[in-house]
């Protein structure tokens, strides 16, 4: 759930002196212009790379870091000093640090963070020449060239894609023990899921069928590759969707754009299936299938409630991490079981659209101490032994290998690998991965199981419509999110949303999207 963990908690720390902080950051910018060109450290002086990582400091981190640094110093001649920033603040703080011109070396970035903006402003390093220099054989051996190609934006590579499966496909993690109880041994389609939810509602007084957290509303109806609660899209998983920024309006692009040369972007509600999905979610909400505090509840809080057995369904991703919830769940609810449900029509042969865009990138700071050393670090982490050390911790204490590609967790050490060391080819699976998760995880490893989205590497540039985009985003938070979780009447809510978007500059945004998407099609 790597990208779902951002939440509002802790933002308070930035709160009071918000403007002040922003001003400070900016003020620092002018005064602390580091010698950006100094690409190598002075001889004899120990170089310590500074890394920004999201989340809390892992349990047992000091021992792992000491081991990593010992090895790094001996083999590469430098050490690392990662800085963990809680998820709630990560996006904000990372941006402030870039803005202030701090000299850290690497960071996690993504389109759902501030990567487009940082690329546009030249704050992060374009990596083509570094990666193509041939100096980093271990890294290139573990990075699929096809994935690298698809993650170029207008031909430029701004980050190293951090992936542990080739394709990212969100879906459902359900309580299989409950499904078994109701005689549904295998749920394969959306209708089955719906029956499961209503059964849970009817038969389990204390369990809410579907858990939705405050970061999820935008995923529910109009999302790439499918809206989570949109049955039409699960049946027709071939819709191209684009938005200027992570939280902005989803435009649906014409499927025949390549033939006609016209992308014809329309706001999501004009595309087939969307209105029905909104009405369906509204019904679910009114029938009590969705938690009433969906717009407020934090992702971590929701996850802990799921592990406590209070929800029957959680959001899941093809990243092999669902089964990690099982130990705690079974501790709280003896006999509980999880399974992963991907209700695609046609199952594993559905060949849904996929943009192959990585959710997470490692980026190099243009003002970092040494970009070459940072690449060296990534290369070093692409060697299985080193990768395992930082990802799973100290062997024998934190984990034990099982064969070549599995592992057993011995402690609670969890490292945010997606921010530094995810290599699809090196990742080990947790020993107790459920059969259903293993099957779908396997499925997501093969690019042939997917159809490349005709707009796969289209990355709209928000700069020309910056103000409109901000206003549209604000309007969405206020009017679309309640609509997406079903908290308001569909017709009234949509009417309000449309009015707010018109005022915010939807027409201009749509025209700009059409212009850029058409240009993209032309360049194909």
Of residues 30 and 185, the one with the C-beta less far from other proteins: 30
Region of 116-124, 135-143, 180-188, 332-340 interacting with other proteins (CB under 8 A): 116-124
91 lies in the binding site for other proteins (CB under 8 A)? yes
Of residues 239 and 299, the one with the C-beta less far from other proteins: 299
**Which positions from 226 through 255 interact with other proteins, judged by CB under 8 A?**
245, 247
The candidate with the shortest Cα–Cα distance to 265, out of 8, 507, 15, 20, is 507
Rounded to 10 deg, the angle between the 87-99 and 18-31 helix axes is: 40
Q: Contact with other proteins (CB under 8 A): which of 1, 53, 72, 118?
A: 118
Query: Least distance from C-beta 120 to other proteins, angstroms?
Result: 9
**Cα separation of 401 and 413, whole Å?**
15
Query: Least distance from C-beta 102 to other proteins, angstroms?
Result: 12
- CA angle, 169 then 470 then 494, to 5°: 70
Q: Contact with other proteins (CB under 8 A): which of 479, 501, 514, 516?
A: 479
Q: Contact with other proteins (CB under 8 A): which of 258, 292, 331, 348?
A: 292
CA distances 62 to 57, 81, 280, Å, are: 9, 11, 49
294 lies in the binding site for other proteins (CB under 8 A)? yes
For residues 172 and 343, the answer to whether their CB atoms sit within 8 Å is: yes
- CA angle, 337 then 388 then 68, to 5°: 135
Of residues 33 and 260, the one with the C-beta less far from other proteins: 33
**Cα separation of 481 and 217, whole Å?**
5
Q: Contact with other proteins (CB under 8 A): which of 358, 375, 488, 506?
A: 488
**Cα separation of 416 and 475, whole Å?**
33
For residues 82 and 415, the answer to whether their CB atoms sit within 8 Å is: no
**Which positions from 345 through 404 interact with other proteins, judged by CB under 8 A?**
366
Q: Contact with other proteins (CB under 8 A): which of 295, 409, 410, 438?
A: 295
**Which positions from 260 through 289 interact with other proteins, judged by CB under 8 A?**
288
203 lies in the binding site for other proteins (CB under 8 A)? no
Residue 353 DSSP SS3? strand
Of residues 287 and 405, the one with the C-beta less far from other proteins: 287
117 lies in the binding site for other proteins (CB under 8 A)? yes
**Which positions from 407 through 466 interact with other proteins, judged by CB under 8 A?**
466
500 lies in the binding site for other proteins (CB under 8 A)? yes
Query: Least distance from C-beta 135 to other proteins, angstroms?
Result: 27
For residues 224 and 248, the answer to whether their CB atoms sit within 8 Å is: no
24 lies in the binding site for other proteins (CB under 8 A)? yes
Of residues 434 and 471, the one with the C-beta less far from other proteins: 471
481 lies in the binding site for other proteins (CB under 8 A)? yes
22 lies in the binding site for other proteins (CB under 8 A)? yes
Q: Alpha-carbon torsion 427, 431, 437, 438, what sign?
A: positive
**Residue 70 contacts by C-beta under 8 Å, 6 or more apart in sequence?**
none
507 φψ region: left (φ > 0), alpha (ψ -120 to 50), beta (else) = alpha
16 lies in the binding site for other proteins (CB under 8 A)? yes
30 lies in the binding site for other proteins (CB under 8 A)? yes
Helices within 100-189 (DSSP H only): 115-120, 128-131, 137-142, 145-150, 176-181
296 lies in the binding site for other proteins (CB under 8 A)? yes
């Amino acid at each position: 759930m790597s990208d779902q963990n951002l939440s509002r908690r802790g933002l308070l720390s930035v709160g009071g002196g918000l403007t002040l902080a922003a001003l400070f950051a900016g003020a620092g910018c002018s005064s602390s212009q580091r010698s950006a060109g100094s690409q190598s450290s002075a001889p004899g002086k120990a170089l310590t790379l500074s890394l920004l990582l999201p989340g809390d400091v892992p349990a047992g981190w000091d021992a792992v870091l000491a081991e990593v640094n010992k090895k790094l110093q001996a083999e590469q001649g430098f050490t690392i000093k990662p800085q963990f920033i809680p998820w709630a603040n990560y996006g904000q703080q990372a941006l402030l640090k870039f803005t202030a011109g701090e000299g850290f070396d690497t960071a996690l970035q993504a389109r759902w963070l501030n990567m487009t903006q940082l690329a546009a402003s030249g704050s992060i390093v374009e990596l083509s020449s570094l990666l193509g220099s041939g100096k980093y054989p271990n890294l290139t051996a573990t990075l699929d060239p096809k994935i690298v190609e698809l993650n170029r934006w207008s031909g430029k590579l701004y980050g190293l894609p951090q992936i542990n499966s080739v394709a990212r496909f969100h879906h459902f993690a359900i309580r299989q023990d409950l499904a078994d109880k109701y005689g549904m041994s295998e749920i394969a389609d959306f209708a089955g899921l719906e029956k499961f939810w209503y059964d849970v509602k009817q038969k389990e007084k204390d369990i809410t069928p579907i858990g939705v957290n405050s970061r999820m509303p935008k995923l529910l109806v109009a999302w790439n590759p499918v809206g989570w609660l949109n049955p039409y899209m699960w049946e027709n998983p071939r819709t191209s969707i684009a938005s200027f920024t992570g939280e902005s309006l989803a435009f649906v692009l014409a499927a025949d754009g390549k033939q006609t040369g016209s992308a014809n972007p329309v706001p999501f509600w004009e595309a087939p299936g969307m209105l029905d999905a909104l009405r369906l979610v509204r019904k679910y909400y009114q029938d009590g299938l969705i938690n009433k505090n969906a717009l407020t509840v934090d992702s971590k809080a929701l996850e802990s409630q799921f592990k406590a057995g209070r929800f029957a369904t959680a959001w899941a991703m093809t990243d092999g991490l669902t089964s990690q919830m099982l130990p705690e769940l079974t501790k709280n609810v003896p006999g509980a079981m999880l399974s992963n449900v991907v209700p695609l029509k046609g199952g594993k042969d559905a060949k849904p659209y996929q943009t192959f865009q990585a959710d997470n990138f490692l980026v190099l700071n243009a003002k970092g101490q040494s970009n070459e050393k940072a690449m060296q670090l990534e290369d070093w982490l692409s060697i299985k032994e080193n990768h395992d050390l930082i990802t799973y911790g100290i062997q024998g204490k934190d984990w034990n290998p099982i064969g070549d590609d599995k592992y057993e967790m011995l402690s609670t050490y969890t490292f945010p690998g997606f921010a530094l060391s995810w290599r699809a080819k090196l990742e080990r699976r947790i020993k107790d991965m459920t059969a259903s998760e293993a099957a779908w995880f396997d499925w997501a490893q093969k690019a042939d199981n997917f159809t490349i989205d005709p707009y796969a590497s289209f990355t709209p540039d928000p700069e020309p419509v910056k103000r409109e985009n901000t206003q549209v985003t604000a309007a969405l938070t206020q009017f679309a999110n309640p609509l997406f979780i079903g908290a308001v009447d569909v017709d009234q809510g949509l009417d309000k949303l449309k009015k707010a978007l018109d005022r915010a500059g939807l027409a201009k945004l749509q025209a700009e999207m059409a212009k850029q998407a058409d240009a993209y099609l032309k360049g194909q």
